Amino acid sequence: MASIKRPLGRSELVHLPELGWTDVEARIDTGAYHCAVHCINYHLDGSELVVRWPNGTTTRHTAYRRATVKSSFGDLQERYLVHLELRVYGEVVLQEFSLSDRSRMRHQLLLGRTFLKRGFVVDVRRRNVSAKYLSRLTPPAPSAP
């Protein structure tokens, strides 16, 4: 029996709860293998990877790895990868992200095939499909008398 794939648009509003990021517009990229997230800087502190994010938050990661990643310009780069909680369609999943400088990019967050293989299909004609789906499920707030 075929599983039902949930649709996503070419960009989606997602949340990264650990970082305090809500309604971040993520670019969906079927050509990218890894997911990528913009960070200000990072450094090793003993066995921990310390990451500083654009909103001033700092996180410490004991579980991280290094991988060779092809950049959007086709260059091979060594990047650190960390796991972060990602919320889309109202569900929280643990997703691996490569840390990169996306300051010159329109989107601070890129979702690649490692995320999409969780059961999503992309409709490039649409945007924010998951947020629109959730807004239909949320009942309107009662009006004040």
Domain assignment present for 144: no
Spatial contact of 22 and 15, defined as CB atoms under 8 Å apart: yes
Model pLDDT for residues 78-89, shown as the tens digit of each residue: 999 999 999 999
Domain assignment present for 27: yes
pLDDT reported for residue 139 = 57
Q: How much of the chain, in percent, has pLDDT values that exceed 90?
A: 73
Q: Which domain holds residue 35?
A: 7-136
pLDDT at 112 over 70: yes
DSSP-based three-state secondary structure for 74: coil
One-letter amino acid for residue 95 of the chain: Q
pLDDT at 71 over 90: no
What's this model's pTM, rounded to 2 decimal places?
0.85
CATH number reported for the structural domain that contains residue 89 in this entry: 2.40.70.10
Of 35, 34, 31, the residue nearest 108 (C-alpha) = 35
Q: How many domains does the chain have?
A: 1
Could you give the strand order of the β-sheet that contains 41-45, starting from the edge strand earlier in sequence? 41-45, 48-52, 58-61
